């Protein structure tokens, strides 16, 4: 029992020493020069943006895509139609582009069998690179 208790305290002391040795909150300490902790991720505020693209048409098929800026990462997106009735248009596909493949574009493909004049919208959520 006493041996197990001694091992427990030795483990706690070792873990505490390791955490303190790699702490970035005390640059004046002697161990700060040898600390190789990972740098912090830049803040996300202002880097996540929403991009929209609209298209108005009255053709049988409608396709629209929202494009992230160069160097950004496409996180996701969505589609909606403005001022449509309950039947037209119908969303038949949405997601990243495949033909041709473009990792910066979120696309929406609509079926418009009544060929009503409608406005369809694709939006993309993008993570812009650090400036």
pTM: 0.64
pLDDT of residue 73: 93
pLDDT of residue 46: 87
Strands 48-57 and 118-127: antiparallel
Cβ 126 vs Cβ 72: under 8 Å: yes
Cβ 63 vs Cβ 107: under 8 Å: yes
Per-residue three-class SS string for 3-14: HHHHHHHHHHHH
Q: Over its length of 131 residues, how does the chain's per-residue pLDDT go in tens digits?
A: 555 444 444 555 554 444 444 455 555 555 555 556 566 767 788 899 999 999 999 999 999 999 999 999 999 999 999 875 656 789 999 998 766 778 999 999 999 998 888 999 999 999 999 87
pLDDT of residue 18: 43
Give domain limits for the chain.
2-34, 48-127
pLDDT of residue 15: 47
């Amino acid at each position: 029992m006493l041996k197990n208790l001694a091992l427990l305290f030795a483990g706690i002391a070792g873990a505490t020493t390791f955490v303190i040795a790699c702490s970035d909150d005390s640059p004046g300490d002697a161990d700060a020069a040898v600390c190789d902790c990972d740098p912090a991720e830049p803040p996300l505020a202002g880097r996540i943006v929403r991009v929209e693209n609209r298209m108005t048409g009255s053709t049988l098929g409608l396709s629209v895509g929202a494009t992230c800026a160069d160097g950004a990462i496409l996180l996701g997106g969505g589609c909606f139609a403005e001022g449509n009735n309950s039947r037209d248009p119908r969303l038949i596909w949405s997601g990243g582009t495949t033909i041709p493949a473009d990792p910066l574009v979120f696309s929406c493909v609509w079926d418009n069998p009544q060929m009503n004049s409608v406005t369809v919208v694709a939006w993309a959520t993008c993570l812009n690179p650090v400036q």
